[in-house]
Amino acid sequence: MADRFIGTSWKMNLTSTQAAEYCGRLLPLVEDVTDRRLFVLPPFTAIWAVRQKLAGTQIAWGAQHVHPEESGAHTGDVSAPMLADLGCSYVEVGHSERRRDYGETDALVTAQVAAIQRHGMTAMVCVGERERAEIGPVMEGIGRQLSALSGADRSRLIVAYEPVWAIGAGARAADPEWIGWVHQAIEAWFRSSRAGSEADVPIIYGGSVDGASAPAILAQPGVSGLFVGRSALDPEEFARIAHLNPVSAGR
Ligand code: PGA
């Protein structure tokens, strides 16, 4: 099995000074982790500081958003060539907080993914339902979000399944079994949407992951890794999650 992805987005947290301190604390704690693909997605303002700390280590870095155009009159925005020049490996798009706060659409996601991939980076695309529901309607909605990726290069694509109801303070991670069902349904969507022997798209889970919930989620079929939010703001907890192995619930 390919190496698992274990990563975090810091969302709108950590100044560049704090980000450098974070990396300084994290690095010795994960020195021995060589069989996972670790990554951090700082806010734009901290990418440079993170790169200074992480260049030459096994931890990759990236961004949480990108404008789909190359350059031009878009005040306050940041483009894919700017991120590629900073050594970003990954760029996250489609997060439910951006869909909610900025009205971002699946059409925008398609354009962002194209820009990210044109510049040699991997697009990390978040999908997921707003409310708990049965698997049928949930997969209908996720299928619509995945349609935005039908023309994407699958070798530079990661999907993050993030049920909106499981994200953020006060929420709890989805049930491991549910996560396994959805991940397998997403895999099936990719298999049926385009024939041929193309690259498998890793599917990672995000939503209130912590050290306690991680092992059972990792044990689910179709789970290629974890995307950690608030619990990874503590580098020690992130390092702990980075070391965990899958353990089936009930064992
Ligand atoms: P959370 O965030 O772990 O704080 O719930 C997850 C995410 O939004 O990716």
pLDDT in tens, 83-124: 999 999 999 999 999 999 999 999 999 999 999 999 999 999
Output the pLDDT for position 199. Answer: 76
Neighbours of 155 (CB within 10 A): 11
Task: Specify the ligand 1 atom closest to the Cα of 95.
Answer: 8
Q: Per the CATH hierarchy, to which homologous superfamily does domain 4-175+185-243 belong?
A: Aldolase class I (3.20.20.70)
pLDDT in tens, 223-237: 999 999 999 999 999
The closest-lying atom of ligand 1 relative to the alpha carbon of residue 167 is 5
Position 152 confidence tier, pLDDT thresholds 50, 70, 90: very high
Q: What is the model's pLDDT at position 146? A: 97
Q: So which residues are the catalytic ones?
A: 95, 162
Over residues 195-213, the pLDDT tens digits come to: 655 679 999 999 999 999 9
pTM above 0.85, yes or no: yes
Q: Which residues line ligand 1 (CB under 6 A)?
A: 9, 162, 167-168, 206-209, 227-230
Residue 238 CA, ligand 1 centroid: distance in Å: 13
Rounded distance from Cα 226 to ligand 1 centre (Å): 10
